[in-house]
Amino acid sequence: MTNTHPNHHSHPTAGSDKTNRTIDIGINLMHRSFGGDRDQIVQTALEAGVTPLIITGTSVRSSEAAADYARKHPGRLYTTAGVHPHDAKSCGGRTLQSLRDLAAGGSVVAIGECGLDYNRDFSPRDMQLEWFTKQVELAEELELPLFLHERDAHEDFARILRRVKPPGVPAVVHCFTGSEQELRAYLEMDLYIGITGWICDERRGKHLRSLVKLIPPERLMIETDAPFLTPRDLVPKPKDGRNEPRFLPHIAAAVAQCAGRSVDEVMRQTTETAKEFFGIGFE
């Protein structure tokens, strides 16, 4: 773990105040929709005070691409290394070793995203269960936190974590969109909760708005999950419809409103939590 105590040196960066930085813990920066302007996305995020970014790895290939890209932006980009449940069917004998090699490379701050997705079942459930379990064990082996994905699979997901994950391995359920009962179960299991712009959706995000205040501030992190989940209430709406990390303060504002806290406090606390969770400091 690196030293996560806040330091008070000032390294002013154009357009961004060090004291006003917010970490986006989940951005799919290697997604093809960012292929033409990836550097620009990182730069405008920085100018909006959203830095560092943690790139979500969703397959061995995307995790490798993320690590290669992050190497060019030290201190600004970190990555996860893992296989999304959709891709469990592509896992094989070399998968775990590839993830181990990646984790040795320096930019990797978590194993994932991994978990279960019974919403679309792009991989057979037995394969999802197998590769979720193996990645939880890998996180323990490598002493890295877990970046977790769960859709419509709460019971199996909780069962595996209770059985396989030691208490010493921190884990965040990213893009939480579940029920109050599921949220309470995750909090009892000492999991962290990642909230996206889903809560900005006045229809399908409605239930989530009332749940946010149940999350203890020190267990809450925020993320865009860009290019997906563009907040529906952005004004003006992005012309290309694409979500970007620079919209994270908008999500923080929605979280603050739902939780009855100030935006500054939400940005500061979620960032402190993320720094400690992922073991990253600011340069």
Residues 6+ apart with CB under 8 A from 46: 13, 15, 16, 76
Binders of Zn ion among 112-131, rule CB under 5 A?
113
When the beta carbons of 64 and 225 are compared against Zn ion, the nearer one is 225
Structure tokens at 224: 């865009």
86 near Zn ion, rule: CB under 5 A? no
Q: Name the segment binding Zn ion (CB under 5 A); options: 17-25, 66-74, 102-110, 111-119.
A: 111-119
| Min dist. Cβ of residue 88 to Zn ion (A) | 13
Phi, psi of 173, deg, nearest 5: -85, 100
149 near Zn ion, rule: CB under 5 A? yes
Count of residues binding Zn ion (CB under 5 A)? 2
22-27/50-55 β-pairing: parallel
| Min dist. Cβ of residue 26 to Zn ion (A) | 7
Rounded CA-CA distance 190/215 in Å is: 11
250 near Zn ion, rule: CB under 5 A? no
When the beta carbons of 46 and 55 are compared against Zn ion, the nearer one is 55
| Min dist. Cβ of residue 93 to Zn ion (A) | 25
165, 140 contact by CB (below 8 A) = yes
Rounded CA-CA distance 231/244 in Å is: 10
Structure tokens at 104: 């040795």
| Min dist. Cβ of residue 5 to Zn ion (A) | 31
Amino acid type, 141: E
When the beta carbons of 225 and 244 are compared against Zn ion, the nearer one is 225
Rounded CA-CA distance 97/100 in Å is: 5
| Min dist. Cβ of residue 74 to Zn ion (A) | 26
| Min dist. Cβ of residue 117 to Zn ion (A) | 8
Q: Name the segment binding Zn ion (CB under 5 A); options: 11-19, 99-107, 133-141, 142-150.
A: 142-150
47, 16 contact by CB (below 8 A) = yes
When the beta carbons of 43 and 133 are compared against Zn ion, the nearer one is 133
When the beta carbons of 64 and 113 are compared against Zn ion, the nearer one is 113
200, 231 contact by CB (below 8 A) = yes
Q: Name the segment binding Zn ion (CB under 5 A); options: 105-113, 178-186, 199-207, 268-276.
A: 105-113
When the beta carbons of 73 and 149 are compared against Zn ion, the nearer one is 149
139, 161 contact by CB (below 8 A) = no
Half-sphere exposure of 257 (CA within 13 A, CB side): 10
**Residues lying near Zn ion in the complex (CB under 5 A):** 113, 149
